[in-house]
Amino acid sequence: MEKLAMSLPLIGILRGVTPDEAVDIAEAVLAAGITQIEVPLNSPNPLESIRRLVDAFGERAVIGAGTVLTPAQVREVHAAGGRLIVSPNCRPAVIEETHKLGMASWPGIVTPSEAFDALDAGATGLKLFPAVQVGLEGMKAVRAVLPAGTLLYAVGGAGVDNFAEWRAAGVDGAGLGSALYKPGQSASQVGQQAQALVDAWLAGEQ
């Protein structure tokens, strides 16, 4: 079970987390088996949060940033120790910089054009965002034209109530935002939410 948990295709999104609470919140997320964590750059002092998370969990988790919009931001995250870059959009220059620095790149895409631009630039995988806008049928249409083996994560609309449907339709993983963490929530509350999300994701395998 532990090995399974360590390889869950889920990214925890801690939007709005502060440096002083980041380690406790991330500890609760990791305890549930979510080992990829991003701190969006529109959070308070995000690079400091990333530094603290890397110091605390760098051997146990892949830590990085979300809402990364420029190559300069990629370099700042890399300097802070981050190894994961997640974006809401598809910017080949951002993907190329991420790839060059040996970091995981997850750009946001909606259309096949964006998907192929992202893959051509060296993306690790694709973040379907917002998934709720594209919907299951739209996702299946995009998935049908992607190269075999392309990783596609649903972000924005995939959660406890519909993981099974998204998995059956063909997504490989998911990014977990407000369903996992909202500013002001305690580590205990986040841990409960993380466990519920992990349990729902695993239930979708059956």
* pLDDT confidence of residue 121: 98
Specify the length of the chain in residues: 206
SS3 per-residue string spanning the chain: CHHHHHCCCEEEECCCCCHHHHHHHHHHHHHCCCCEEEEECCCCCHHHHHHHHHHHHCCCCEEEEECCCCHHHHHHHHHCCCCEEECCCCCHHHHHHHHHCCCEEECEECCHHHHHHHHHHCCCCEEECCHHHHHHHHHHHHHHHCCCCCCEEEECCCCCCCHHHHHHHCCCEEEECCCCCCCCCCHHHHHHHHHHHHHHHHHCCC
User: What does pLDDT average to in each consecutive run of 10 residues of the chain (206 residues)?
Assistant: 60 98 98 98 98 97 98 98 98 98 98 98 98 95 96 95 95 97 98 98 84
**Tokens matching residue 22:** 């980041």
Widest distance between CA atoms in the chain: 44
pLDDT score of 4? 39
- Report pLDDT for 1: 32
Catalytic residues: 38, 127
The closest of 65, 63, 123, 58 to 90, measured between CA atoms, is 123
The pLDDT assigned to 206 comes to: 59
List the one residue out of 37, 79, 80, 43 whose CA is nearest residue 62.
37
Place of tokens 């054009």: 113
pLDDT computed for residue 126 by the predictor: 98
Strand-pairing partners, residue 12, are 37, 176
pTM, to two decimals: 0.95
**How many Cα atoms are found within 13 Å in the side-chain-facing hemisphere of 173?**
21
CA-to-CA dists, residue 83 to 38, 64, 151, 197, angstroms: 10, 5, 18, 24
Query: In Å, how far are 29, 193, 199 from 4, measured between CA atoms?
Result: 15, 19, 12
